Amino acid sequence: MTARAVVTGVGVVAPSGVGADAHWATVVAGTRRTGPITLFDPASYPTRIAGEVADFDPAGYVDARQRVQTDRWTHLGFAATRLALADAGLPEQAPDPCGWAVTLASSSGGNLFGQRELQRLWGGPTRTVGAYQSIAWFYAASVGQLSIHHQFKGPSGVLVAEAAGGLDSLAHAVRTVRRGTPVVIAGATECPLSPYALACQLRSGLLSDVADPELAYRPFDVAASGYVPAEGGAVFVVEELGHALARGARIYGEVTGWAATHDAAPTDPHAGPDPTHYARALRLALTRAGVRPHDVDMVWPDALGMPAHDRAEAAALRAVFGDRTPPVTTQKPLTGRAHQGGSALDAATALLAFRHNLLPASAGPEQPAEGCELGFLRAPRRPRSRIALVGARGFDGFNSALVLRGAAPPPPTD
């Protein structure tokens, strides 16, 4: 039970960039990367902008045979995993297969692949689908493919808690490390950007229909109008501390606390949830990490962008921290909200902030809405306690929280 789990590799494949460095540059510059949807013609939909991974070339990460057998969501997962392994200084093939595992979150599976095959089945001349539909659409497709490609034979998992699951996958990686598997790949990528997946999301009532990408996704702002969907996410190498130290790995930080709760109430787009249970998740994660609320350096909130939900999140943070919350920062407006990939991406940003010894400024709100006046970080600053709290919420009541303790900063190099 005493085994400690640290993050030694971060792989980002997101609208903010491919690779942790590209993502970090976008975060620091505060550059918005959402824009008109190009994966299909969005003209007939009220939401026409999204966060896409621009110029993503799967051929750089996935061989030709696997490419045709898998969805874009899995391509993104392959890329993020390979980047994370390289970042951690680990080989592509697990040298000790049963000691390596993979647990990712996935909230909607292989949407583009699945829609193409549904169309073939119902609109084509024969009532058939292709041979790969059975392995490309379902939620476990990416984890299965990754376990085969990289020889991850340890206890693997696929988690679904809508947007909250990216954090749950890191928590589960720690459970798995503590039970004797020294290397666990965790995190999430998503690709909910097919016409049908967008049609499904539109029914949630949470998507922004503001046409100007600059103004569409503005969490905690007086002009909040819902969120902009996105693809991509982040994948991590979570490693048992002794294993990481023995090989001289560079450590980003330790996963020291986590918690999940449920509202037991469905999401109403226009009425905010009772903040009680989200606040309890945040508090439980801090308690498990042995951290007092006022020792938290930085908070990455869920930042849904619906007024009532933003107010509820602010109320939850005040319930935990009192009226003076720690600095709050969100970069979700830059990328859009990539569901479980989005919460994983926030955890990546937090770890990169400690690595670069810089807490990044928040991308908004320009004018906080009433009830949302939190301590948004307006200018970057140096970390102090190096403790981050990341919160995430999932549709229909999921709440997750993660506490990350950043490793000491590397000595200045130039």
> Any contact of residue 190 with another protein (CB under 8 A)?
no
| Range 208-267, binding another protein (CB under 8 A) | 259-266
Instruction: Kindly tell me which of 2 and 413 has the beta carbon lying closer to another protein.
Output: 2
Smallest distance from another protein to CB 222, Å: 27
> Using CA atoms, how far apart are residues 177 and 3, in angstroms rounded to an integer?
7
Only segment of 6-14, 23-31, 201-209, 310-318 that touches another protein (CB under 8 A)? 201-209
Q: Out of 31, 38, 63, 119, name the contact with another protein by CB under 8 A.
A: 119
- The 8-class DSSP code of residue 125 comes to S
The DSSP line for 282-345 is HHHHHHHHT--GGG--EEE------HHHHHHHHHHHHHHH-SSPPPB---HHHH-B-HHHHHHH
> Any contact of residue 138 with another protein (CB under 8 A)?
yes
Smallest distance from another protein to CB 96, Å: 12
Strand partners, 14: 17
**8 A C-beta contact, residue 335 and residue 345:** yes
Smallest distance from another protein to CB 167, Å: 11
Instruction: Kindly tell me which of 29 and 199 has the beta carbon lying closer to another protein.
Output: 199
Only segment of 95-103, 242-250, 297-305, 370-378 that touches another protein (CB under 8 A)? 95-103
**8 A C-beta contact, residue 306 and residue 313:** no
Contact map string, positions 340 to 379, toward another protein, x by CB under 8 A:
----------------------------------------
> Any contact of residue 141 with another protein (CB under 8 A)?
yes
Q: Out of 8, 26, 81, 145, name the contact with another protein by CB under 8 A.
A: 145
Q: Out of 30, 35, 99, 155, name the contact with another protein by CB under 8 A.
A: 155
> Using CA atoms, how far apart are residues 26 and 70, in angstroms rounded to an integer?
29
Q: Is 389 helix (H, G, I), strand (E, B) or coil?
A: strand
> Using CA atoms, how far apart are residues 82 and 97, in angstroms rounded to an integer?
16
Smallest distance from another protein to CB 171, Å: 9
Q: Out of 29, 54, 68, 98, name the contact with another protein by CB under 8 A.
A: 98
Candidates 174, 183, 189; CA nearest to 151 is: 183
> Any contact of residue 269 with another protein (CB under 8 A)?
no
Candidates 370, 348, 368; CA nearest to 360 is: 348
Number of residues this chain uses to bind another protein (CB under 8 A) = 84
> Any contact of residue 38 with another protein (CB under 8 A)?
no
**8 A C-beta contact, residue 168 and residue 174:** no
